[in-house]
Each structure stands twice: as C-alpha cells, then as structure tokens.
Amino acid sequence: MENEESQVQAHKLLGQKNVAATRKDNFLTKRLRSCCIIPQRYILGVMGLMGVCNAYTMRVCLNLAITQMVNKTITNETHAIDPYACSSGDVTGNETEIPKPYAIFNWNETTQGLILGGFYFGYAATQVPGGYLAEKYGGKWTLGLGLLSTALFTFLTPFVTRLGGATWLFILRVLQGMGEGPTMPALMIMLARWVPPNERSFQGALVFGGAQIGNIFGSYMSGILLANGANWAYVFYFFGGFGILWFILWSFLCYSTPNSHPYISKKELAYLNKKVTTADTANIKDPVPWKGLLRSAPVWALVFAAVGHDWGYYTMVTDLPKYSQDVLKNKIETTGIITSVPYLAMWISSFLFGLVCDLCIKKGWHTIKTGRIIHTTIAATGPAICIILASYAGCDSTKATIYFVLSMALMGGFYSGMKVNALDLAPNYAGTLTSLVNTTSTFAGIATPYLIGLLTPDSTIAQWRVAFWVCFAVLVGTNVVYIIWADGKQQWWDDVRQYGYPPGWKHGPLIRENPEQAEAVQLSDKQ
C-alpha cells in the first residue's frame, strides 16, 4: 500500500511539474509573440538577405585577396596593334609590381584561374542534392549548415593554404562551393512556404538582392583589410567569422515553415495558411515529379532565361574590371569604383522593380505571367543594348561607365522576373526546380570568362566588341524563348492530387497512389 501511495504521489508530482512547464512555455511563447511586432516573414526576408550577402562575400573575397597572396612580375608582352587603343600615363609597357610582404606563392595565371573557378564546380555539384534535402528536411538547416560549413572553410583558408599550397586551396574552394550550393534552393523552399504570391516580387528582390550587397561589401571590406600591405589572412578571418555569427542568429530567429515557428503571431499564421499555396504534408513526401517537370515547357523557358542572365551577369562581374583597366586604362582606384557602383545600382533598382511588379499584380493591371515576362525582358534586352553602347563609347570612360551602371540597374528586374518564377510554377518543388535552373546556368557562368578570354587575347576594343555582341545575342535569344513559353501559374505536376493528370498523359504515375488511383491512371493511358 505504501508503495502504491508513493507511486501515486510521484505521478501527481510529475503531472504538476509538467503542467508548470507547459504554463511556463505558454507564458514564454506569449511574451515572445508580444515582443515580436515585425511579421516573421519579414524577419525571414532580412535574415535571408544577410545569408545571401554572407554567401557572396565568402565567394568573392578571394578575388582581391589572391592579388596579395601571389608574388609575380609583369613583363613586356607582344600584343596586336590597336588603332583605337586608349592612352593613359598611368599604364606603361613595362611595369614591375612592388613586392608584397605576405605574397609567398608563385602561382601563374592558369593556376590562379583554376583556384578561382574551383568554387563553381562544387557549387554546381550540390544544387540538386540541396534542393532535395531542403524539401525533405526543411530549408532552415539545409541552408544554415551549408553556409556554416562554408564559413568554417573560409576561416581555415590561411592555415590550409600555407600547409598544402595551390592544391589544397583548390580542394578547399570546391568544398566551399559545395557548402553554398544548397543556398538558393533552400531559400526558394522557405520563401514558397512563407511568402504570399502578391508579396513575392518584393521579398525576392529583398532576399536575392543580398548578392549585390555581398559583392559591394566583400570588395569594399577586402580593400580596407588588405590596405597598406596587411596580411591577406585577415580577409578570411573576418568573413569566416561573419558567417559563423550569421548562423547563430539564423538558428534562433528563422524556421522552415510558419506552422513550425514557435512564436509567430496567430494573426500572421492564419493569414499565411490562407494565402500561401502549398501541398499537404502527405504530398511533400511524394517523390520529385521528374517526368512531369522535365516535360514542362515553362521549366525549360526558365532554364533558358537563367542561362542568358548568368551569361550577361558573369560578363559584367568577371570582366568589367579587366575592361576598365586594360582597355579604358583607368587607375586601380577608378576601377574599384567602376566595379562597385553597378552592383549598387542593381540592388536599388531591384527593389523598385519588385514594388512596381507587386503593385501591378495587386491592382490587377497585369497577370503574374505578364509581370514575369515584362521584368525578365527588361533585365535581358536592357543590359544587352547598354553593353553594346559601352563598347562603342571608345575611350570615353565616363560615358562607358554610365552605360555599364545603367546595364546593371536594368538587370535588377531579373529578381521580380524569372528569379521568383520558380515559386509560381512549383511552390512544392521550388527547391528542386531552382537547383535544376542554377546547375545549368552555373556551367554557363563558368564557360563565359573562358570564352571571353579566347575572344580578347590582346584586350583591344575591337575584340571586346565581338565579345559583347556574343553576350547581346545570348541575352536576347534566351529571352525570346522565355517570352514564348513562360508561365505564371502553378503547374499540374507540382500538385497532381489537386490538378490531376493532363489529357493524354502516358508516362506513368508521378505520386504514390492507392490502387484505385493507379487503375484510373492506367485507364486514362489506354484511352
């Protein structure tokens, strides 16, 4: 009897503790909800912006740091005679670089190119796996742990490079790219769960505009940290530490879905559950509908548009500094300004395009499809025309710079155009679709600098005009494909349970079906 009474008392005590803990949790949750005045989807947007910014700073910081890592001498080389060559007293035919105190590596241009390109090999390799993991386990940890790994690799770069030289640094860059590969697919998954259709243009511009902030911040801070012959290792310590700090904030502030967020307001949760189109939990467990996805014309229109955009974007990002210094003969300080200002213009314009696009959709002035086509066309044909005008500006550095800045500003329409189109087409498989698009376009980005190097061996104005005309053809040609086959509606294969199979579908089931559904599909195939 005594044992039974003691057990009863123990159960009562345990129950009282559980009730107290529940009350404490409810109290804490209510306090957090009352403190969080800002809607959680906007907090996600800001943290997503910082995450993309962080990813791009770690991606580009080596571009400047490597100039202080390598000790090289520039000697006379034989070049083709360019009758249109620009003159400047700042650049001479035979110039020797001042020795740098921490430049301990003797890497040639080919080795440096391989090191810088190593990142994109890893980046392309984890796009599809990253999208799959984000859809299966949620975007929070797929994105967070991926960027944390890149931050740790960035922080360790000085130690690894001094130990293993170029080979180890190349491997480390591949690993850094693999860590960043899931970034865009995971973000797409989270935005698909968090952002209503009428807010996606602005939220897309906010989050993905972090790329331009990262380019500006990364280049600017790297220049400050490397000034006066400082140790190049500081660059990697700074940006690696910045990435680790971001991960800590991300872990506490952001969650994969609104329903899993512990202190989202009830009002916002009800609003998102009503407005955001996502499949049931059972649907999310279905396999990726590759047979439907790969046969979808809007998907391939999106792939073409992404290839065109990356071709133009990497032409500007990779080769604008070379054009400024080798062709226009600008000083290095001027080149730094010319390189950073276009990114700022693109970032600002992306918000303006996003606000305009969302406003037009809300007011019913045009459909989502029309809005995506308009802004994608602006972001493709506008820069294509501007870079041609820049090449014909001759040695007028001011005029050429204006054209380059205008080119990148118009490219800001990309974020409210085809960049968020994956959310329209496949909110349930936005990560997989984004990974497919990014993988394809990343290889285009790898090829672009190499092709431009072949077309401009002597860096003459005439040779650069040919390279810019090729860029023009790619931008305009891919945009025509997008205009013809683009769409702004959720595709049937993204939610077969809701939309069913299209007439004449003869490629088997896309989802896990019960026997009655499978028999219905077979009868439809026979008919």
Instruction: Please determine, for residue 478, whether its predicted confidence score (pLDDT) is greater than 80.
Output: yes
CATH code for the domain of 194: 1.20.1250.20
The phi and psi torsions of 125 (rounded to 5 degrees) equal -70, -25
- The burial of 253, by beta-carbon neighbours within 10 Å (0-12 exposed, 13-18 middle, 19 or more buried), is given as middle
Domain shared by 271 and 295, yes or no: no
As a three-state string, the secondary structure of 27-61 is HHHHHHHHHCCCCHHHHHHHHHHHHHHHHHHHHHH
Q: Look at residue 500 and tell me whether its pLDDT is greater than 50.
A: yes
Whole-number Cα distances in Å, 304 to 351, 474, 485, 517: 24, 10, 10, 35
Q: Is 166 exposed, middle or buried (0-12, 13-18, 19+ CB in 10 A)?
A: middle
Q: What is the distance between the terminal CA atoms of the chain, rounded to a whole angstrom?
A: 74
Q: Who wins on pLDDT, 469 or 523?
A: 469
Instruction: Quick: pLDDT tens for 11-51.
Output: 445 444 443 434 444 554 555 555 567 888 889 999 999 99
Q: What region does 508 belong to: left with phi over 0, alpha with psi -120 to 50, or beta?
A: left
Mean pLDDT of 60-74: 73
Q: Is residue 521 part of a domain?
A: no
Is residue 71 pLDDT above 60, yes or no? yes
pLDDT band, very low/low/confident/very high, at 449 (cuts 50, 70, 90): low
Residue type at position 46 = V
Distance of CA 225 to the CA centre of its chain: 25
**Same domain assignment for residues 314 and 269:** no
**259: which 2 tokens?**
């329903």
- Residues 433, 406 contacting (CB under 8 angstroms): no
pLDDT confidence of residue 334: 58
Q: Please, is 458 exposed, middle or buried when counting C-beta atoms within 10 Å of its C-beta (0-12, 13-18, 19+)?
A: middle
Hey, what are 423's tokens? 């959310």
**Vertex 53: Cα angle to 242 and 321 (nearest 5):** 110
Q: How far is CA 248 from the centre of its chain?
A: 21
**Residue 88 identity:** S
pLDDT in tens, 176-228: 999 998 888 888 888 888 888 778 777 877 888 788 888 888 877 877 787 77
* Domain match, 338 and 264 both: no
Of the three residues 217, 242, 275, the one that is the final residue of a domain is 275
Q: Report pLDDT for 463.
A: 84
Question: Does residue 387 share a domain with residue 302?
Answer: yes
Segments of 206-265 assigned E as strands: none
Top mean-pLDDT range of 14-18, 161-165, 455-459: 161-165
User: Where does a domain end: 275, 306, 334?
Assistant: 275
Q: Answer yes or no: do 241 and 316 share one domain.
A: no
Same domain, 251 and 339: no
Q: Are residues 122 and 64 in the same domain?
A: yes
Q: Residue 155: which of 263, 47, 54, 70 has the closest Cα?
A: 54
pLDDT, position 191:
87
Give the tokens for residue 326.
């080798």
User: Is 354 among the domain residues?
Assistant: yes
Beta-bridge mates of residue 105: 70
167-176, 201-210, 469-478: which range is least confident on average?
201-210
DSSP 89: T
pLDDT of residue 29: 55
Q: Are residues 64 and 188 in the same domain?
A: yes
Segment 480-502 shows an average pLDDT of 88
Are 256 and 336 in a shared domain? no
Predicted local distance difference test score (pLDDT) of residue 416? 84
Number of domains in the chain: 2
Q: What is the mean pLDDT of residues 47-60?
A: 91
pTM higher than the cut 0.75 = no
Query: Residue 508: pLDDT above 50?
Result: yes
Percent of the chain exceeding pLDDT 90 equals: 23
Average pLDDT over residues 283-298: 79
Question: What pLDDT sits at residue 325?
Answer: 61
For residue 75, name the pLDDT band (cuts at 50, 70, 90).
Answer: very low
Domain around 378: 291-499
Banded model confidence at residue 337, pLDDT cuts 50, 70, 90? low
